[in-house]
Amino acid sequence: MVSLHKVLRYLFVSKVRIKCLKYFFLNQDVPIHLRGMARELNEEINAVRRELMRLDEIKLLKSTKRGNKKYFSLNFDFPYFEEFCSLFIKSDGLGEDIIKKHNKLGAIYFAALTSAFVSGVNINHKEIDLIIIGDIDLELLGEIVRKEEEKIGREINYTVLKLAEFNLRKKRKDPFITNLLLSTKVLLIGNREEYVS
């Protein structure tokens, strides 16, 4: 299977553009100004300016003035927002690790990240960030999650259900399962129609 990083390099010629996009999709609620972005990406300011202007021009980013600085952030109304979001979430961090290590983790029928994880906003710190249905190595999953927690600086809440338990609770219209499935945002493994509908 071709790695997602390789796909991104072919789809997006500019490495600075890839870095910009990855930054915004992995830090969705963090507006940033040009100099801050250049420092964050460790790239020349003119290269970053050019990419920010292009992304602003196609309306993937929106910009606002604060004092004498122009801040850039994601435009959640961009027509292809969900597709781009999914692509970049799967190419880095927790999404990438789950996909890469799914065979070592065990039998995964379904794995998805929720809105709480994708947006980076887990309001009450009790929302589930990751759901996995299957029979998996919980120790390995714990290691993967801890690594991501250190990186993002917050606790990640996840739930793992065996297939039979999931099917039974879904059949009974368990509110926890219903709400969890409605909050799934980025599918990592499995078929959304089979489990969510």
Per-residue pLDDT reduced to its tens digit, 55-102: 898 888 999 998 889 999 999 898 888 888 888 888 888 999 999 999
What pLDDT, on a 0 to 100 scale, did the predictor assign at position 5?
60
Q: Which amino acid does the sequence have at 20?
A: C
Mean pLDDT of 157-184: 91
DSSP designation for 15: H
Least confident of 34-43, 82-91, 142-151, 169-178: 82-91
The token pair that represents 89 in the structure block: 């979430």
Which CATH class for the 4-74 domain?
mainly alpha
Residue 56 makes CB contacts below 8 A (sequence gap 6+) with 62, 63, 72
Residue 110 makes CB contacts below 8 A (sequence gap 6+) with 131, 132, 133, 134, 187, 189, 190, 191, 194, 195
Chain position carrying tokens 């961090």: 93
The token pair that represents 145 in the structure block: 């999650």
Interatomic CA distance for residues 186 and 197, integer angstroms: 15
Chain position carrying tokens 């509908």: 197
* Domain boundaries of the chain, sorted by first residue: 4-74, 92-196
- Position 33 pLDDT exceeds 60: yes
Over the stretch 111-167, which tens digit does the pLDDT of each residue have? Answer: 999 888 887 665 566 789 999 999 999 999 999 999 999 988 889 999 999 999 999
Q: Which amino acid does the sequence have at 23?
A: Y
From residue 113, how far is each of 10, 86, 174, 175, 177 by CA, in Å? 26, 10, 20, 18, 14
Residue 45 makes CB contacts below 8 A (sequence gap 6+) with 34, 35, 38
What pLDDT, on a 0 to 100 scale, did the predictor assign at position 9?
61
Q: What share of the chain is helix, strand, coil (3-state, %, to 5)?
A: 55, 20, 25
